[in-house]
Structure 1
Amino acid sequence: MASWMSTKQCAYLSLILILVPSILLGQGGEMAILKVTLNQEEKGEFLVFITEDGDYLIKTEDLTKMGLSEARGKISTIEREEFLSLRSIEGVKFEFDEKKLALSIHAEPHLFGKRVLSMRYPKKTEKIYYPKDTAGFLNYNLTYYAGDQFKYEQTQLANQLGFRKGDFLFLTDSSYSQRKGEGAKFVRLMSHLTYDRREDLLRGVLGDSFATSGDLGSTLNIGGISFSKNYLIDPYFIRYPEISFSGLLSLPSEVEIYRDGVLIRKERISPGEMILKDIPTYVGRGLIEVVLRDPFGREQRILQPYYFTDRLLKKGLQEFSYHLGFQRKNFGLKSNDYEDLTFLGYHRYGLTDSLTLGGRGEATENLLNLGLSSTLLLPMRMGVLDASIAWSTTDGRRDGLAGMVNYLYQGRNLSLSLLLRGFTKEYFNVSLLNTTERTKYEITTGAGYHTSWLGSFAVGFSQVNKYQGVDTKSVLASYSRRLIGPSTFSATFKRDLESHQSEFLLSFHYHFKNLVTVSGSHQRTNGTYNERVQVIKNLPLGEGFGGRASIDRYHGKIDEYYDYNLLLQYNARYGQYGGEFLSSNHQERYSLMTAGGISFIKDTLSFSRSIQDSFAVVKVGELKGVRVYLSGQEIGKTDSRGKVLIPNLGSYYDSQISINDKDIPMDYTLSEVIKYVNPPFRSGSFIEFKAVKFQAFTGMLKLRKEGEVKPLEYVEFKIILDGKELALPTGKGGEFYFENVNPGKYRGELIYMDKKYVFDIIIPKSEEMIVELGEIICE
């Protein structure tokens, strides 16, 4: 307990001893400040009333601060404060050391409050800013294509326009192309207005969107309205059942959590009921070990096997998506080709942590399709089973049925999978209405085994039989292993049992630290061979080069030829530029590309690389050359306006934006150097670090009276700043001092010897840290 608290308590004790009711003092009680230890944990010094019969009374407020929030017993009121008798609390023992003035208390765990700790994400202690700025952006990508001898073939311009205001986002993209000998063609792609209600994880869309109705259903491009529960709006929200652990601690303990033998979290926890929830796990079967270690070094180990899947929903949670609109036809070819009013939707509900149930449906003027689904965590951690059934009816046809069973087991070394799907000939969903190829049944099964020493083995079998169309049946075997350093080797064999054709692939990859990957492969397909050597340099997040170079050799029984490919790209500050050369079987093709983005927010228009997600403008006063960082990586330096653009800010995630305070001049002050920002989807944020220039002003206030000028010492006068009064004292010789006032002319007021004086104070524009104003004469 801090020393200031002891001083405060001493003053309070003195007051209590004077004012405490005489009837209580008559019982022989006394007040004392004692060092209190609770279950071997020092809590500090507290005010304690000691009764004549050896009971100890402590303020209920102090007991709650110590952690005994569930303590109940006899309460006495002393000077309008509630004191709780330790002797009256069931489950509490205490011992007083008179020499050390120390009170040792031991309480049973159930008397402490419940402490719930989320293990997946650390507790947020920083202040998170959730911006809702009005902003917009325009992305463009212009590509020029040429053929042999660099003869012109085509020009293509793709663009995307986005505008956000508050919780609403308008987004549209389009394509413009011109081919040699043909007219120009403009095609609108996707356009929609999106509304997100972040606190409820709800999203509404008006316009184009891709809709799905789940297993055995369709996925369509629909123009209309949609309403969904979107958990991606808050990636920190845990929607699937995680592993939790609870227990009672009688002593302060150190808790260590191990996942499959690897330490993933360490905490120090006070006595009481402890709940560790959302312990992070991998998909599949594993083992969580919790180690409890008390102050005496005694350990307790608890083992908890688990099977984790992200297919389940937590008990009581629901997930849904409903779409109503017109089907988009000829997407990418025509701008406004819509027909057939259609409904698609699904709804899933976490009945328990082990069972999620759902329903789905589709409807058009001539079709109704309904279905049920379930996801079950099997007993004894034997895997996850998905099952679905669907029924359809269409005009002029008999009713149809379809079913699906999907089993998945993922162990530490072994994995198994099985997918079965069957359809009657009369079963239709919206996607199947316009196709003649109909599946009768589908079987896909696989098994895999992995060890860090041997690598990964996998085998699989797939068979699809159709009412109309081509049947397929194939087997697959693969092997992969990490070799020395950051290198990997893989081999794959595939055999088509219907056509009796085989395919074999060997590949090797080596990853360098400078974003460079070198790979080589050999492939054989039905007597044709292909060898490839490839070097890839990934583009950096900031400015820099990237590219790809590859050589392919094709040879068979008849001919042999080579393919060459060279791609170069450069991330510049205001855009991205690139070029590609491709030579395939003696035919050449060239392309040149330029891409970028134009964004605006408040009074700032910026040019940059394409805005792929969200962006932010960071302002640091009017200071130039201040380095700005995103999650520790330098993004750039502020310009002459004190601004820099961050073109790649992640939506919905907490992003740390910071500045280098070493770049701030000595005569400037900062209120903070780090901000945490969580922007909405495809948004622009204005992040300001206020840098205030420190500037002091000094002068002497004097009075001219009867031709004589004398200093006004030790008086108080006022300056009127934007309608507010700033009171200033004078010292010896009438000297005064104040800070950080903008240049301008201000009014001063003084009441001296019952007379009011009014005068002007002129603040000049100056770069000096200390500005001398000289003599200010009152008349």
Structure 2
Amino acid sequence: MARSTCYNSKLTVFVVGLLLAGGANCADTQAQFYSFDALQLDNGGKDVDISLLEEGVQLPGIYQVDIVINGKIIDAGEIPFHLEKNSVGKPFLQACLTREQVRRYGIKAANYPALFQVSNSLSRECAHISAIPQATESFKFSRRQLLLSIPQVALIPHYSGIAPRETWNDGIPAFLMNYQAGYTQSTYQRGTLSSNNLNLQLEPGVNLGAWRLRNLTTWQKFGSQKGQWQTSYTYAERGLYGIKSHLTLGERFTPSDIFDSIPFRGAMLETDDAMIPYNQREFAPIVQGVAQTQARIEVKQNGYVIYSTTVAPGPFSLAELPATTSGGDLQVTVFESDGRRQIFTVPYNTPAIALRQGFLKYNVMAGQYRPSESEVDRAIIGQATLMYGLPWNLTTYGGAQWAERYQAGQLGMGVSLGNIGALSIDSTLSHGKKWNENAQYGKTWRLRYSKSFESTNTGVALAGYQYSSSGYNSLSDVIDTYHTGNHVFYSGDFKDEQNFYGSWFNGNTHRRKSRVSLTISQPLGRWGGIYLGATRETFWGNLRDQNEFSARYTSPMISGIYWSVSLAQRKWNYPLINISGENKTDRTIDFWISIPLNRNTEHDIHMNYQMQRNSVKQKVQSIGINGYAFDRQLYWDINEQLAKTSYTQSNQDSGNFNLKWNGTYGTLNGGYGYSKWDRHMSAGVEGGVIIHQNGITLGHKLGKTTALIEVPGGSNISVMGGEGVKTDFRGYTTLSYLVPYQDNTIRLDPVTFPRDVSIQKTDVKVIPTEGAVVPAVFSSRVGARAVITLIRLNGKPVPFGAVASIVDQAESINNTGIVGEDGEVYMTGLPTKGKIKVQWGKGLRYNCYSSFYLKNSNEVADIYNFTDVCK
């Protein structure tokens, strides 16, 4: 068998020159043409008849090649090739593709029963592409390409952005868990008071086939209080690929495309948008902002965290939010590494509904109401929705919700207006009975419009709600009034502003009458980008209108400098807060600029300045410096802040220093901060762990879909695209946030390869299903590399074309190479001490043995070079 390898470019030039010289001499003396690739000199095989070289045919074996279908490279890897003969009896090499490979390449194998046949030489089943009418196969050895020409009717349709269904990979069985532990010590009023807080967050999960089991459990301990455990959710889910749907059992949310999103505990079956091509998907929100330091972004809807990620300092744009899992405005919190927080609201409404003709989208849920407040009753609820694309660019949709004290139904129609956008209108009728009130009937009309102007990249979403009667209620409006004791409107927990106000509205008779919102995002190319958002709400009763407005401009990067300015204003009327009855206005103006001090990509250092004015702290200024070190594994930042409040008119200085280390086995962080009133220190650790059939792998926090990378024998190798992501001592690591149902390319950094490891290909493609732990295995060979000159006892070099193999005491062949001119052979994976068997024909007369000890050899650029006698 012949096995290829990848090695130093200087050596490649050397061996190619060596081979060309050898080929020229042989052509002169024997009038024969030798056509084999110098890059394939280091191969893995046995019992090879080198007389094939004289017929212009390459050696059968395993070769590293690109697979090209209809002119497009779709895969690369090691492919076995065996000898076949054509109609005139001339030998040629034919690839042996497996059923799995044919499936991944999107060929309709079931339509061609004769496609797979058993190869006599390999004693295994191989695909014969010629069984497909008008299909051809060609092996371009010099370019190391397997060219397949397949008629389009024999290929599974490949929609934009989505890989063929047959190529999806459910991954391996595994136990996986994210963990995050933190400790904070605070000292107040010059040491007279202190507190120690501990927290632990665990996200365990199990993957088994297409099933995924997930849980989130937290533990917190404040000071001398007893620690408390809390489970946020537990659910099991899986994809139903044949019907492009998703089944969930446990605690989740309903989608918000027709009704408001509902938290539930039960079962839900719905269309899975992630399996739908991009051109058939619906709108998803984009959250944009600016982080002053390396920060964690947390996005909430209806009091629940729906998304969390970590971003580097500077502008960020989050386009991967799970739009269909919840509804309502997005509450975004930016947790800066120095302890500061930015909080802002992104108005979000589901867009106009307009589906393609014949496309069906549905959702069915039954279970128990799961509110964010523990005092609310757990009522039995259900929901069913349906959307269907009709001819003439029309879409019809509707649905129903039900509970013991609530029923609602909706019907609507959407229309695609082509270049103008999409428009939908619907009406909902409701019947509900709140606690201690009579039953109420009501209805609401809703108008939605959305448009993305591709020529300018402008995104517009406009939604207007008009509640035509004061008796209209949503399901949550009714159920949330049934509290334990039924004498309070809210839980009394004021820590979450959005939950508090939402609870007050749910229990209050002042219901929303109308709501209109508008969002516009406009990239300006080399001039930066702007974002505008506005919302206006009116209410039944004596409450005044509530208005929110936000605007932001982000500059382009010029010589590494970028800046942003934003304005946010919120005008509300909450009687519990605003005793005077006048509208309360919060207004914030923010300016931020970042200037690079070092343009080194591995040790980026930036100076940041921020000025903020708002209603409480009239003026806040901060200046800081942050950067990276040690190949961007270490992040650090120092910040000093000066605040002047409206009620004291005195300066309040504060400062912070933070460190974060992204290591191979997880992330460590620590910090120290001070102000006029307190001192605090913090330390934490976070990461992810996967237990699989080959052992335990520790790494960074795991995203929903993850690759388990394996490089046999390759430790401390960096994975491109992940800061601090390196293989462990066994050659394993993880890379998360893969895109499900699509091609994902995982690449290794060749600069970090150990000197004794040869990796044949530095990138691997995977197509995981959602939530999968998909293996990404890189073929490697561990051992030294050497150019060996083999001389026979008569002083002549070993014959050109002979096969040199590393053998053990049992004569088992580990790897082989082909001898070039003057007895030279390039080999990889060599042990420090070993034996080489050289064969150039059949019988004992045509072989010899050579022993080597690398420590006695010269080494240049990690390649040994020595001469030995073959006996």
TM-score (norm 1): 0.58
Match in the other structure for 1:424: 469
Cα displacement (A) at 1:325: 1.1
Match of 1:397 among 434, 439, 457: 439
Contact 1:459–1:477, Cα closer than 8 Å, also in 2:
yes
Contact 2:266–2:367, Cα closer than 8 Å, also in 1:
yes
Provide the rounded CA distance (Å) in 1 between the counterparts of 2:225 and 2:566.
Answer: 46
Q: Structure 2 vs 1, CA of residues 680 and 558 (structure 1 numbering), >3 Å: closer, same or farther? A: same
Contact 2:852–2:868, Cα closer than 8 Å, also in 1:
no
Provide the rounded CA distance (Å) in 1 between the counterparts of 2:218 and 2:743.
Answer: 34
Contact 2:713–2:757, Cα closer than 8 Å, also in 1:
no
SS in 2 for 1:219: coil
Match in the other structure for 2:425: 387
Aligned runs of 1:569-718 on 2, under 5 Å?
569-573=659-663, 574-580=665-671, 586-587=677-678, 589-624=680-715, 626-630=717-721, 637-646=726-735, 649-659=738-748, 671-692=760-781
Contact 1:367–1:392, Cα closer than 8 Å, also in 2:
yes
Contact 1:578–1:592, Cα closer than 8 Å, also in 2:
yes
Percentage identity across paired residues of the two chains = 13
Match in the other structure for 1:556: 646
Match in the other structure for 1:471: 544
The residue identity in structure 1 corresponding to 2:658 is L
Bigger share in strand: 1
SS in 1 for 2:231: strand
Q: Superposition RMSD on alpha carbons, in Å?
A: 5.7
Cα displacement (A) at 1:170: 1.0
Q: Structure 2 vs 1, CA of residues 458 and 593 (structure 1 numbering), >3 Å: closer, same or farther? A: closer
Match in the other structure for 1:94: none
Cα displacement (A) at 1:465: 1.3
The residue identity in structure 1 corresponding to 2:201 is A
Cα displacement (A) at 1:521: 3.1
Match of 1:437 among 485, 508, 511: 508
Cα displacement (A) at 1:569: 4.0
Cα displacement (A) at 1:476: 4.5
Contact 1:221–1:327, Cα closer than 8 Å, also in 2:
yes
Provide the rounded CA distance (Å) in 2 between the counterparts of 1:490 and 1:479.
Answer: 4
Unaligned stretches of 5+ in structure 1? 1-81, 83-111, 242-308, 701-718, 729-734, 746-751
Cα displacement (A) at 1:765: 11
Q: Structure 2 vs 1, CA of residues 473 and 740 (structure 1 numbering), >3 Å: closer, same or farther? A: closer
SS in 2 for 1:612: coil
Q: Structure 2 vs 1, CA of residues 351 and 771 (structure 1 numbering), >3 Å: closer, same or farther? A: farther
Contact 1:312–1:353, Cα closer than 8 Å, also in 2:
no
Provide the rounded CA distance (Å) in 1 between the counterparts of 2:635 and 2:777.
Answer: 31
- CA offsets 1:617-665 (integer angstroms, 9 cap, x no match): 43333244555434xx676554553444435555444322233557768
Cα displacement (A) at 1:160: 0.8
Bigger share in helix: 2
Match in the other structure for 1:62: none
Provide the rounded CA distance (Å) in 2 between the counterparts of 1:450 and 1:621.
Answer: 48
Contact 2:699–2:733, Cα closer than 8 Å, also in 1:
no
Provide the rounded CA distance (Å) in 1 between the counterparts of 2:595 and 2:158.
Answer: 34
The residue identity in structure 2 corresponding to 1:429 is S
The residue identity in structure 2 corresponding to 1:545 is Y
Aligned runs of 1:754-765 on 2, under 5 Å?
none
Provide the rounded CA distance (Å) in 1 between the counterparts of 2:689 and 2:521.
Answer: 50
Provide the rounded CA distance (Å) in 1 between the counterparts of 2:227 and 2:253.
Answer: 28
SS in 1 for 2:477: helix
Match in the other structure for 1:544: 634
Provide the rounded CA distance (Å) in 1 between the counterparts of 2:708 and 2:459.
Answer: 49
Cα displacement (A) at 1:220: 2.7
Aligned runs of 1:510-529 on 2, under 5 Å?
510-512=593-595, 514=604, 516=606, 518-525=608-615, 529=618
The residue identity in structure 1 corresponding to 2:368 is F
Provide the rounded CA distance (Å) in 1 between the counterparts of 2:557 and 2:675.
Answer: 34
Q: Structure 2 vs 1, CA of residues 619 and 320 (structure 1 numbering), >3 Å: closer, same or farther? A: same
Cα displacement (A) at 1:487: 2.1
Which shifted more, 350-359 or 658-667? 658-667
Match in the other structure for 1:173: 216
Q: Structure 2 vs 1, CA of residues 204 and 542 (structure 1 numbering), >3 Å: closer, same or farther? A: farther
SS in 1 for 2:476: helix
Larger radius of gyration: 1
Cα displacement (A) at 1:159: 0.7
Q: Structure 2 vs 1, CA of residues 414 and 161 (structure 1 numbering), >3 Å: closer, same or farther? A: closer
Provide the rounded CA distance (Å) in 2 between the counterparts of 1:583 and 1:387.
Answer: 55
Which shifted more, 351-360 or 494-503? 494-503
The residue identity in structure 1 corresponding to 2:610 is G
Cα displacement (A) at 1:565: 5.5
Cα displacement (A) at 1:724: 12
Contact 2:612–2:619, Cα closer than 8 Å, also in 1:
yes
Match in the other structure for 1:145: 184
Provide the rounded CA distance (Å) in 2 between the counterparts of 1:583 and 1:393.
Answer: 55
The residue identity in structure 2 corresponding to 1:612 is G
Q: Structure 2 vs 1, CA of residues 464 and 550 (structure 1 numbering), >3 Å: closer, same or farther? A: farther
Aligned runs of 1:20-31 on 2, under 5 Å?
none
Cα displacement (A) at 1:561: 5.2
Cα displacement (A) at 1:185: 1.5
Query: Which gives a bigger RCO, structure 1 or 2 (Cα 8 Å, sep 6+)?
Result: 2
Provide the rounded CA distance (Å) in 1 between the counterparts of 2:772 and 2:632.
Answer: 20
Q: Structure 2 vs 1, CA of residues 597 and 240 (structure 1 numbering), >3 Å: closer, same or farther? A: closer
Match of 2:390 among 351, 357, 362: 351
Aligned: 1:508 with 2:591: yes
Provide the rounded CA distance (Å) in 2 between the counterparts of 1:457 and 1:595.
Answer: 34
Which shifted more, 170-179 or 584-593? 584-593
- CA offsets 1:727-765 (integer angstroms, 9 cap, x no match): x9xxxxxx9x999999999xxxxxx9xxx99xxx99999
Match of 1:134 among 173, 179, 183: 173
Provide the rounded CA distance (Å) in 2 between the counterparts of 1:342 and 1:326.
Answer: 6
Q: Structure 2 vs 1, CA of residues 193 and 378 (structure 1 numbering), >3 Å: closer, same or farther? A: same
SS in 1 for 2:387: strand
TM-score (norm 2): 0.53
Q: Structure 2 vs 1, CA of residues 388 and 542 (structure 1 numbering), >3 Å: closer, same or farther? A: farther
Provide the rounded CA distance (Å) in 1 between the counterparts of 2:636 and 2:658.
Answer: 6
Match in the other structure for 1:197: 240
Provide the rounded CA distance (Å) in 2 between the counterparts of 1:401 and 1:535.
Answer: 54
Provide the rounded CA distance (Å) in 1 between the counterparts of 2:152 and 2:731.
Answer: 49
Provide the rounded CA distance (Å) in 2 between the counterparts of 1:742 and 1:137.
Answer: 37
Provide the rounded CA distance (Å) in 1 between the counterparts of 2:428 and 2:162.
Answer: 44
Cα displacement (A) at 1:475: 7.1
Cα displacement (A) at 1:409: 5.7
Unaligned stretches of 5+ in structure 2? 1-132, 134-150, 284-350, 482-506, 574-580, 597-603, 793-806, 817-822, 836-841, 858-863
Provide the rounded CA distance (Å) in 1 between the counterparts of 2:635 and 2:217.
Answer: 28
Cα displacement (A) at 1:698: 10
Aligned: 1:368 with 2:404: no
Contact 1:213–1:346, Cα closer than 8 Å, also in 2:
no
Aligned runs of 1:78-227 on 2, under 5 Å?
130=169, 132-147=171-186, 148=188, 149=191, 151-198=194-241, 200-212=243-255, 214-215=257-258, 217-227=259-269
Aligned runs of 1:65-80 on 2, under 5 Å?
none
Match in the other structure for 1:321: 363
Contact 1:697–1:739, Cα closer than 8 Å, also in 2:
no
How many residue pairs match? The answer is: 566
Cα displacement (A) at 1:343: 0.8
Cα displacement (A) at 1:509: 2.3
Q: Structure 2 vs 1, CA of residues 165 and 443 (structure 1 numbering), >3 Å: closer, same or farther? A: closer
Aligned runs of 1:248-263 on 2, under 5 Å?
none
